[in-house]
Amino acid sequence: MKRRVVVTGVGLVTPVGNSVETTWSALLQGRSGVDYIKKFDTEHPHKFPVRFAAEVKDFDPLQFIEKKEARKMGAFIHYAIAASDEAIRDSGLEITDENAEQIGTYISSGIGDFWAIEREHSKLLNDGPGRVSPFFIPSAIVNLASGQVSIRHGAKGPNSATATACSAGAHAIGDSFRIIERGDADAMICGGAESAITPMSVAGFAALRALSTRNDDPQHASRPFERDRNGFVIGEGAGIVILEELESARRRGARIYAEIVGYGMTADAFHITMPDETGSGAIRVMQKTLKDAGVEPEVVDYINAHGTSTPYNDKFETVAIKKAFGEHAYKLAVSSTKSMTGHLLGAAGGIEGVFSILSIYHKRVPPTINYVNPDPDCDLDYVPNEPREMEVRYALSNSFGFGGTNAALLFKRYEE
């Protein structure tokens, strides 16, 4: 018999705030976290075609980690630790010798620490192999966010990470749901972390023509589902949730934000970067998630869309929602918080899972900002520009990644 799984804690580091409170407040104010890049010089010695991003701001890892240890970690690990610390505090979860083997970590990333790769490669070319840091590999590889959080808190249960591009954070939450559901852990610290705003990464995504080039107006560059969208804005940060078996949460009197009731995974099997124009993979992942939860499409109130602000993604996600939900699609609130946070790649599913949970808990749906000119191909209710107070009983969170990998999570208002 499947065990029920609930959310008892959340933690965030995002381009609009370094905590849940500051981030959620910014979303409800419709505030953009996009600005000109400060992490490196986009003008010299070469001018970048894209000179803006959604960077984390005013973040000091030394508030969370000792200086000596922080130097051994990539920034995505710093973000994961900060968000995990907040989520664990928020949940009131205590990890002890008695329960440590039943508490796991599952924190994914699409890329890991690109900064470490670029920095150490430069050392190798300029100064030789003897100058490469012994901490290069453990600071950069994807699973070390999960590993460092596990070590920090003594969580001895399952310890894993996926590198499924922009679906990675959602896969981490969904896989953790399954782990608890089948009894392999009682609680999981899970989500996604990313820090890929680097010269090589920005140049690479720009070469793919995936990024918006609105260099004259960065704050209005991310405009999901809007007629004049022309690409996504790269972001960074971390989103972590504490999933817990229901009886465990009840026993310790934990606050329950929501229940997770459905999870789906599919593949487009179509193209390395472009979504399937029929929406097939996205349709099936939403249908599988609803089937997993044992509910009809009509119960869903809100979708936190993948909504990247690229021409094809937004059009085909709209097609998929209409095919998966039928006439009910026009009754759904569908918003893309990427309009404010940018696209956090492997961390997107983590932060957007948190946003979906908070929408249920606070009965407020964040908007899609920069929505000025409607696109005839995107004709759903995208909660334009202003947040909405509404009862959200079921919220769906979509995440689609390069390689045609798709994930969806369904959260439900907790009821006894």
Q: How far is 388 from 390, CA to CA, in rounded Å?
A: 6
Retrieve residue 263's tokens.
Answer: 């999870």
Residue whose tokens read 């600071």: 139
Q: How far is 298 from 319, CA to CA, in rounded Å?
A: 17
Q: How far is 255 from 268, CA to CA, in rounded Å?
A: 38
Retrieve residue 70's tokens.
Answer: 């922080």
Q: What is the secondary structure of 308-377 as a DSSP string?
A: -S-HHHHHHHHHHHHHHHGGGGGGSEEE-THHHH-B-GGGHHHHHHHHHHHHHHHTEE--B-S--SBBTT
- Between the alpha carbon of residue 63 and those of residues 18, 58, 60, the distances in Å are 12, 11, 6
240 SS3 class? strand
Instruction: List, in order, residues 6 or more apart from 242 with CB less than 8 Å away.
Output: 7, 8, 9, 10, 87, 88, 90, 91, 93, 187, 188, 189, 190
Q: How far is 24 from 27, CA to CA, in rounded Å?
A: 5
Q: How far is 233 from 230, CA to CA, in rounded Å?
A: 10
Instruction: List, in order, residues 6 or more apart from 45 with CB less than 8 Å away.
Output: none
Q: How far is 40 from 36, CA to CA, in rounded Å?
A: 10
* Enclosing H/E stretch for 192: strand 187-194
Instruction: List, in order, residues 6 or more apart from 134 with CB less than 8 Å away.
Output: none
Q: Is the Cβ–Cβ distance between 413 and 392 less than 8 Å?
A: yes
Retrieve residue 230's tokens.
Answer: 């022309």
- Amino acid, res. 354: V
Active site residues: 166, 306, 343
Q: Is the Cβ–Cβ distance between 107 and 80 less than 8 Å?
A: yes
